[in-house]
């Protein structure tokens, strides 16, 4: 516990480095794009690292059953978000490592994204 506290105190003393790393991470989150699919590819969705839906693609064959299509869209988006969260956790861990923080210090992701 004291090791993490010491690392946090050291980080607070170097707020310029923290700001720089957070700006890098924010830029990186915009470049992360994860794709999820559902219904054997009838629906695909792309989500970025900021958890924004970038696109949804629906094949014509999926448009015959509205309820099924709604379920497939939700499943594809959820699948893409799960993959994006994994990539965000990796990027956040890398940022923590660059800051000299112990593994797990940031909890594997950013608040509100996990």
CATH classification at residue 13? 3.30.1310.10
Q: Are 111 and 55 in contact (CB under 8 A)?
A: no
Residue 9 lies in a domain: yes
Task: Mention every residue, 6+ apart, whose C-beta is less than 8 A from residue 69.
Answer: 43, 58, 62, 63
Note whether residue 16 is domain-resident.
Answer: yes
Here the tokens at position 32 are 């992360």
Residue 76 lies in a domain: yes
SS3 48: strand
Instruction: Enter the pTM of the model.
Output: 0.74
- Residue 78 or 6, more confident: 78
CA separation for the pair 35, 15 (Å, rounded): 35
CB 38 within 8 A of CB 68: no
* Count of domains observed in the chain: 1
Q: What is the tens place of the pLDDT at every residue in 55-104? A: 999 999 999 999 999 999 999 999 999 999 999 999 888 888 877 777 66
């Amino acid at each position: 516990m004291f090791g993490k506290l010491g690392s946090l105190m050291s980080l607070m003393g170097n707020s310029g480095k923290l700001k720089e790393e957070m700006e890098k991470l924010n830029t990186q989150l915009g470049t992360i794009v994860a794709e999820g699919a559902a219904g054997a590819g009838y629906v695909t969705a792309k989500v970025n690292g900021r958890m924004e839906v970038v696109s949804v693609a629906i094949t014509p064959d999926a448009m015959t059953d509205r309820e099924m299509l709604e379920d497939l869209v939700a499943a594809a988006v959820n699948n893409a978000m799960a993959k994006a969260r994994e990539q965000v956790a990796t990027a956040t861990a890398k940022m923590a490592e660059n800051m000299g923080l112990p593994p797990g210090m940031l909890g594997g992701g950013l608040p509100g994204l996990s």
